Amino acid sequence: MNDVLDLKIKATQIRLDLINMIYESKSGHIGGSLSSADILTVLYYNVMNIDPNNPNWEERDRFILSKGHSVEAYYSVLADKGYFPKEELKTYCKFGTRLIGHPNNKIPGIEMNTGALGHGLSIAVGMALGAKMDNKSFRVFTLMGDGELAEGSNWEAAMAASHYKLNNLIGIVDRNKLQISGNTEEVMSLEPLEDKWKSFGWDVLTTDGNDIEKLIDTFNAAIASANDKPKLILAYTTKGKGVKFIENKANWHHRVPTEEEYKAAISELQELMEVYLNEQNIK
């Protein structure tokens, strides 16, 4: 799926699905899921070589959701791609479900159980190293939160990725500048973040992580890069993107909407969806 408008529609659908999941289960991480929805959409519908009918295909690109708490966006994408029935999203976080509150590798399409922060990049380094050792051409992607970059293990992995010249590894940081207790720069300063990654030997590409078109261009540029450095996409996003009253508020990191809020969020996204669908009909 390459058309930008189609992807915008898809990302809006993912947002609707994940809000439904969270409201239904009365549990989840709404802010970070909304901020990462566009990144996941572009990865799964445009960038990655995958085959949902054959989730264990050896040549598949690998994806690790290091910020495992944003699992609602991830499950919504995987269900929509056909890794498991969309109906199953209703079981999210309920007793007996496979769709537990953090990624679970018993679900087709999910490589690793993640959610303890600061683990994903090291795993991605191992996978990328394995691909190189085995002369395989698959690429490894991992999506990190910005708050989780305070975990020192990320920087051990960052050092290793450039040491082993893992140019088949693309890290993405969902830079929404908020974490559970507030602004990242107040909690534990990350800036200058671009310089930090550069100084660890990474190629850094910055983009608007909620702009589908720019994301596609940035991923293409990262993949096309011919040097031997690992790539880091610093994706500037808005936490809670897509629902105005949720946007940029740290307290929406892990809050469940009330009935009123739920209705308002759904109606705002449905309005946006209608705008996109009208655009599509005009085309």
Partner 1 sequence: MNNIIAPRDMFGKTLLELGEINDNIFVINADVSKATKTEEFAKKFGDRYINVGISEQNMVGVAAGLARVGFISIMSTFASFAPGRCYDQIRQSIAYSNLNVKVASTHPGLAVGPDGAMHQCLDDVALMRELPNFIVLAPSDQIETKKAVIKAIEYNGPVYIRIGRMECPIYFKEDWDFEIGKAYILKDGSDVTLIAHGSMVHIIYEASDELEKEGISVRVIDMPSIKPIDTKVIIKAAMETRGIIVAEDHFIYGGLYSAVCEVTSNFSPCIVKAIGVQDIFGESGSPLELYKKYGLTKENVILKAKEILKS
Contact of 229 with 201, CB cutoff 8 Å: yes
Binding of partner 1 by 97 (CB under 8 A): no
Which residues, 6 or more positions from 82, have their beta carbon under 8 angstroms from its beta carbon? 52, 53
282 binds partner 1 (CB under 8 A): no
Q: Which stretch binds partner 1 (CB under 8 A): 118-126, 194-202, 205-213, 264-272?
A: 118-126
Among 26, 49, 51, 134, binds partner 1 (CB under 8 A): 134
Q: Which two tokens stand for residue 86?
A: 């969309």
Stretch that binds partner 1, among 5-13, 122-130, 205-213, 269-277 (CB under 8 A): 122-130
Given the rule CB under 8 A, which of 151-159, 201-209, 243-251, 266-274 is the region that contacts partner 1?
151-159
Among 12, 25, 114, 207, binds partner 1 (CB under 8 A): 114
Query: Which region, left, alpha or beta, applies to residue 244 given φ > 0 means left and ψ of -120 to 50 means alpha?
Result: alpha
Answer for which of 7, 43, 73, 125 binds partner 1 (CB under 8 A) is 125
Q: What is the CA radius of gyration of the chain?
A: 18
Strand-strand pairing, 182-183 and 178-179: antiparallel
Instruction: Give the residue with the Cβ less far from partner 1, 126 or 182.
Output: 126
Assigned token pair, 116: 């303890």
In the complex, minimum distance from the CB of residue 134 to partner 1, in angstroms, rounded to a whole number: 7
Segment interacting with partner 1 (CB under 8 A) among 12-20, 31-39, 84-92, 129-137:
129-137
| The binder of partner 1 chosen from 119, 139, 214, 241 (CB under 8 A) | 119
If one asks whether residue 112 binds partner 1 (CB under 8 A), the answer comes out as yes
Of the candidate residues 52, 82, 108, 126, the single one contacting partner 1 (CB under 8 A): 126
Which listed residue (27, 91, 97, 153) binds partner 1 by CB under 8 A? 153
In this chain, which of 27, 91, 97, 113 binds partner 1, going by CB under 8 A? 113
- Scanning 76-84, 148-156, 172-180, 247-255 for contacts with partner 1 by CB under 8 A, the matching segment is 148-156
Q: How far is the CB of 150 from partner 1 (least distance, A)?
A: 14
Segment near partner 1 (CB under 8 A), from 90-98, 134-142, 215-223, 259-267? 134-142
Site residues for partner 1 per CB under 8 A: 58, 62, 105, 111-116, 118-131, 133-134, 136, 140, 152-153, 156-157, 159-160, 163-164
